[in-house]
Amino acid sequence: MAGPRAPPGSARRRPLSGSASGQTEGVRSDPDRSPADRSYLDHAATTPMRAEAVAAVTAELTRTGNPSSAHGSGRAARRVVEDARELIAARLGADPAEVVLTGGGTEADNLAVKGAYWARRDADRRDVLVSAVEHHAVGDAALWLAQTQGAQVTLLPVDAAGRLDLDAYAAALGPRSAVVSVMWANNEVGTVQPVRAVAEAGRAAGAVVHSDAVQAVGHVPVDFAASGLDLLSLTAHKLGGPVGVGALLARRSTALAAVQHGGGQERDVRSGTLDVVGVAGFAAAVDVAVRTLQEEAAREVALREELFARVRAAVPDASRHGASPDDPAAGLPGVLSVQIPGAPGDAVVMLLDAAGVDASTGSACSAGVTAPSHVLTALGVSEAEARSVVRFSLGHTTTAADLDRVSAVLPDVVARARAAAAYV
């Protein structure tokens, strides 16, 4: 499917209104409830900072010095940044020179998609290929290139589990292919993509290949050099670091045009004074998340499967979306996308919130959207079914006590949500 097309749902955003908000009128979370009295099951939106990251941030809060300055204080700040860069590179199979520090995953995705396209358009390569389940940071960037820069965007289909159709991808590649972007792991259903195969085919066709690995790093094994990718995005707050800092891993041979201009920092493709405090916390979080990945992933998979068993015990007709649980490598260990027939997802989330459980209906970056998830519809889920999906996402602070709380409140939550829906 060639030509400029929006990822499903990206052009239909509007404020929350209508019957969805009326279904749970009067339900509010208790503002006096402390975090200790809540069960946080929305780690795919953001995860609590790890103690190591808090310590690294705290140690740098009183530091004075711009890391671009030549004096002693500036050089000391620069050393903190470069030590962090080296640690991030070491943990992710990259060279330190390939780590371009950014303000987060969205900025890294925009720099990858737009920067790679702008750097190549003189070569008469105008085709941008993105999967149909990309985060809006990639999907909307590609759409913008189509609307304003002459790009031809192709949405690559996925199967019912959310896995890329490699045959359709191969057919879409050609001599005009400029940029390919396929996420490493999906934020809504957790499916892990065949990144190595995507990279091999894309680079063979002469395209620059990028992967949004925001959800993957620290949760599944990620090795930049072994992946064959040209570009890879990540962010700190999805793996236990601070909000507001991330990185684009970029092969030194990959040309990028700057998206913002200024002092020429970060290989002259991402100008701006670096956040020394945030970068230090970022590196600490990457370090501990990657070092403990195998043990933590096994723990989260066990908790995820136990949670789904409890959901099914409370709601026998509930089902799940995403990769098969029989193949642990096919999905993120902590993401559970559950469909509860007859219970609007936003109503379930509101009622869970009031009961002290934090969950989501999909990507937190699309909060307030009444249109069904473009990820779920790309999987072949009907719009009506997509509106009855709740995402639970587990992380390093999740315990069995959190599952106990869900088990205790879910039957009443679902009953009330279904009853409210019956009157709409």
Helix (H) or strand (E) holding 120: helix 105-120
Antiparallel, parallel or unpaired: β 246-250 and 99-102: antiparallel
Smallest CA-to-CA distance from 102 within 256, 209, 218 is with: 256
Render 208-270 in DSSP notation, one character per residue.
EEEEE-TTTBTTB---HHHHT-SEEEEESTTTTS-TT-EEEEE-TTS----SB-SS-TTTTTB
CA distances from 190 to 103, 197, 301, 319, 325 (A): 24, 19, 12, 15, 11
Residue for token digits 């956040």?
275
Render 55-68 in DSSP notation, one character per residue.
HHHHHHTT----TT
Smallest CA-to-CA distance from 378 within 177, 165, 101 is with: 165
Do the beta carbons of residue 253 and residue 214 sit within 8 Å? Answer: no
Phi, then psi, of 99 in degrees rounded to 5: -95, 105
Query: What is the C-alpha separation between 231 and 141, in angstroms, rounded?
Result: 15
Query: What is the C-alpha separation between 52 and 281, in angstroms, rounded?
Result: 8
Do the beta carbons of residue 373 and residue 277 sit within 8 Å? Answer: no
Antiparallel, parallel or unpaired: β 389-393 and 335-339: antiparallel
Smallest CA-to-CA distance from 358 within 409, 322, 319, 302 is with: 409
| pLDDT for res 18 | 29
List, in order of start, the domains of the chain with CATH numbers: 19-40+293-422 (3.90.1150.10), 51-291 (3.40.640.10)
Region of residue 362 (left: phi > 0; alpha: psi -120 to 50; beta: else): left
Query: What is the C-alpha separation between 417 and 422, in angstroms, rounded?
Result: 9
Q: Of the listed 365, 367, 400, 419, which one is catalytic? A: 365
Grouping H, G, I as helix, E, B as strand and the rest as coil, residue 192 is strand
414 as an active site residue: the answer is no
Smallest CA-to-CA distance from 68 within 217, 214, 275, 339 is with: 275
What residues in the chain have per-residue pLDDT under 70? Answer: 1-36, 362-370, 424
Query: What is the C-alpha separation between 58 and 370, in angstroms, rounded?
Result: 40
Smallest CA-to-CA distance from 102 within 94, 111, 93 is with: 111
- For 51, residues 6+ apart whose C-beta sits below 8 A from its C-beta are none
Do the beta carbons of residue 220 and residue 83 sit within 8 Å? Answer: no
The token duo for 18 is 């209508």
Query: What is the C-alpha separation between 51 and 63, in angstroms, rounded?
Result: 20
- CB atoms < 10 A from the CB of 317, how many? 9
| pLDDT for res 104 | 97
> Distance from CA of residue 338 to its chain's centroid?
18
Smallest CA-to-CA distance from 352 within 312, 301, 392 is with: 392
Query: What is the C-alpha separation between 254 and 270, in angstroms, rounded?
Result: 15
pTM score of the predicted model: 0.90
Query: What is the C-alpha separation between 185 and 215, in angstroms, rounded?
Result: 6
Do the beta carbons of residue 124 and residue 206 sit within 8 Å? Answer: no
Do the beta carbons of residue 282 and residue 246 sit within 8 Å? Answer: yes
| pLDDT for res 372 | 86
Do the beta carbons of residue 209 and residue 184 sit within 8 Å? Answer: no
Q: Which residues pair with 212 in a beta bridge?
A: 233
